[in-house]
Amino acid sequence: MILPKSILIFGLLLFSMGFPSLAYADFDRGLRAYNAGDYQTALREWLVDANQGDSAAQNNVGTMYAYGFGVPINYAEAAYWYRLAANQGNADAQQALGWHYINGEGVPQDYAEAAYWYRLAANQGNAGAQQALGEHYLNGEGVPQDYAEAMRWFRRAADQGYAAAQYDLGVMYENGEGVPENDPEAVKWYRLAADQGYVLAQHSLGLMYINGEGVPQDYAEAMRWLRRAADQGDGAAQYDLGVMYANGEGVPENDVLAYMWFNLAAARGGKGASEAKEAKEDLSQKMTAAQISEAQRLSTEWLEEHQ
């Protein structure tokens, strides 16, 4: 899995502290250049160590090509460098190579090959790879479907605080996949992920409060979690907020705010978009032109604040 830039920087710092081979001056200069935003210099410095066989430098060069830092994005080149590092046992590169295989980026799409690389990284304790391998078992991609095995890998990643795996555990407990259905346990894992800002977990936790599943029904608490997800751009949460405002659940009924959230969800696309569009059109039948104009203004204002 390719990590966000903010996480990547942290990972690069860990590389420099955790691998004796990274005492190379070239790597340190590359790290300083990277953190200063001078990606071309960083790449040039890391290529020196990478060509000498340093696995952490090879992994970083792969990431530069995967993200297009200092060079045009080139997934084939990224996969080349990741493979060099992965073959030396670099867990981050193994995880990244698994991502390339599952997505068919720079290599032919191959779920079994993705699972192979994820497993190597997962066995080294890489939480992202553990979560990804769990998804392979959950969906039967590249491996036989096995809920118990999915649960085992999700749990290992979740116990390291990996939010995506905590969310996945919540889903499995809520749906009774591989374990008896257990809403309080689902809420526990959703909350752990939601507290880390994981948007899908925030939305799911909001729904648990709406429906009183695993927690007492609490519209105010539902609103709080849905709003956190909606403010991250989650269309399904935006739609659910619209429903709450339209029905006056946990808040005074407010057609203008309901329309605003429906409008945002419809424009976002994805899950809930068609329902949001229909709800917006139905709601508009009882609104004045001034109310609709105000809702549209609020939608524009929200978009400007959350770009």
Reported as a single tens digit per residue, the pLDDT across 130-169 is 999 999 999 999 999 999 999 999 999 999 999 999 999 9
Contacts of residue 83, Cβ cutoff 8 Å, sequence gap at least 6: 93, 97
What pLDDT score was predicted for residue 75? 97
What pLDDT score was predicted for residue 18? 34
Q: Please write the tens of the pLDDT for every residue from 26-61.
A: 778 888 999 999 999 999 999 999 999 999 999 999
- Residue with token string 């405002």: 245
3-state DSSP assignment of residue 107: coil
pLDDT reading at 8 higher than 70: no
Distance of CA 45 to the CA centre of its chain: 31
SS3 content of the chain, % helix, strand, coil (to 5): 75, 0, 25
pLDDT level of residue 219 (50, 70, 90 thresholds): very high
Q: Considering the chain, what is the average pLDDT of its residues?
A: 90
Give the CA distances from residue 191 to residues 131, 184, 196, 197, 208, in Å, rounded to whole numbers and listed in that order: 18, 10, 9, 10, 11
What's the start-to-end Cα distance of the chain, in Å?
A: 25
Q: Please write the tens of the pLDDT for every residue from 81-120.
A: 999 999 999 999 999 999 999 999 999 999 999 999 999 9
The answer to whether residues 162 and 128 touch, using CB atoms and an 8 Å cutoff, is: yes
User: What is the pLDDT averaged over residues 291-300?
Assistant: 94
Q: Please write the tens of the pLDDT for every residue from 197-211.
A: 999 999 999 999 999
pTM of the model: 0.85
pLDDT reading at 281 higher than 50: yes
Nearest to 287 by CA among 253, 264, 240: 253
What pLDDT score was predicted for residue 125? 97
pLDDT reading at 276 higher than 70: yes
pLDDT level of residue 24 (50, 70, 90 thresholds): low
Any idea how long the chain is? 307
What pLDDT score was predicted for residue 270? 78
Outline where 106-198 has alpha helix (H): 111-122, 127-139, 147-158, 163-175, 183-194
What pLDDT score was predicted for residue 25? 54
What pLDDT score was predicted for residue 268? 86
Distance of CA 41 to the CA centre of its chain: 30
Q: Please write the tens of the pLDDT for every residue from 238-259.
A: 999 999 999 999 899 999 999 9
